[in-house]
Amino acid sequence: MKREVLEVDSVQYKVGDINLLTDVYLNCSSGEVVGILGRNGSGKSTLLQIILGEKKTYEKNIRINKQTYEEPFKAEKIAYLPQNSFLPIFLKLKKIIKLFLSSLEAQEAILKEEIIISNLDKKPDQLSGGERKLIEILCIMHLDAPFILLDEPFANLDPLIKDKIVSVLQKFSKLGKGIVIADHDYRNIIKVSDKIMLLKSGYCREIKDLKELESENYLPFGTI
Amino acid sequence: MVSMKKFIINDRFRKKELIKVKNKISLFNNYYKDIHFFNIPFSLIVGCLGVMKKGSVIFEMMDSFTTSMFSGGLLLSLYFFNTRYSNQYYFYINKGLSKWFLLLWCFSINFIIFIIYVVIKSNIL
């Protein structure tokens, strides 16, 4: 797979008079997993939606291989997993896969997954929350987009499903996908990420030593 | 030999693009069906109410039905979809189709149906 680089630069976003994001910079390469941590309301989801190009803002610069994109999703360069389920509830999983994955190769690849095979005739609302999330992640990962943004993929899931998600992320990052994850589950984020960023007071900075998460008041002292 | 290779590569690229376009049409078709799951029954009711107006029963019904399909009925359907299933827009966004693209195409198709109906009606009357 061709090595690609996603650069997110100068992202600013205001909610009313409050500066939610002030000059955010981050980058992610093919095969790299970038974990974004931050307290509730720090702007993690907003940042991911701005990177996707779905949320408008007055200042941002999204580059993929040095080419600037105003709305990267239109070029199918970036895919996004929202916090809540996005699968059409009126369709069966086999129809969803046919619609969502246009290439036959991707359809054949996803049909090798056990969780997909056993639920092909079910609709999304007939699946458990964990199964649905895992299936959504697999669908997103099989898209052609070189970069994947995941918004709280570990939220409200049991430990076994979380482990499966971790192994899916590791598998696809090895296959060359660039993955950006925002979540509060810091243990799994630390486990899966090559680089950890902390979003605080509108800025995003890289965490070199995990102890910084305590000194930055993200984790209680003594957690690490 | 080189030009043959180029032709094969271009042909593969064209086929891939064609599959993508077909896929986007299927995706839009699915969205259109979801929106009209509410719009068609609602517009039929509006059409039935249109019968109460003076004039030809069929034309009054069709007038109200086609008008509702691209105006009130469509707006209400979009509102319900936005409030109940707004997350499903990410299904289309991940395939490169923006929310505005979907909304505009839904409106355009229904408006074209209305225009065709008006033309047919003016030819008959």
pLDDT digits (tens, 9 = 90+) for A85-106: 999 999 999 999 999 998 889 9
Label the pairing between strands A147-151 and A67-69.
unpaired
**Domains of chain B: total:** 1
B54 found inside a domain: yes
Task: Indicate if ipTM > 0.95.
Answer: no
B109 found inside a domain: yes
Contact A88 B88 (CB under 8 A): yes
pLDDT at A36 exceeding the cut of 80: yes
B3 found inside a domain: no
B85 found inside a domain: yes
Structural domain range at position B72: 30-124
B9 found inside a domain: no
Tell me if chain A has a CB within 8 Å of the CB of B86: no
B3 falls in which pLDDT band (50, 70, 90)? Answer: confident
- Measured between beta carbons, the chain A residues lying within 8 angstroms of B23 are 99, 102
pTM score: 0.91
Chain A contacts to B (CB-CB under 8 A): 52, 54, 71, 73-76, 79-82, 84-91, 99-100, 102-103, 140, 143, 145
Secondary structure class of B109 (helix, strand, coil): helix
Pick from A73, A84, A99: CB nearest B30: A99
What are the φ/ψ torsions at residue B91 (nearest 5 degrees)? -60, -40
Closest by Cα among B99, B101, B80 to B91: B99
C-alpha distances in angstroms, B116 versus B33, B63, B113?
21, 12, 5
Task: Tell me what the mean pLDDT of segment A65-89 comes to.
Answer: 94
B7 found inside a domain: no
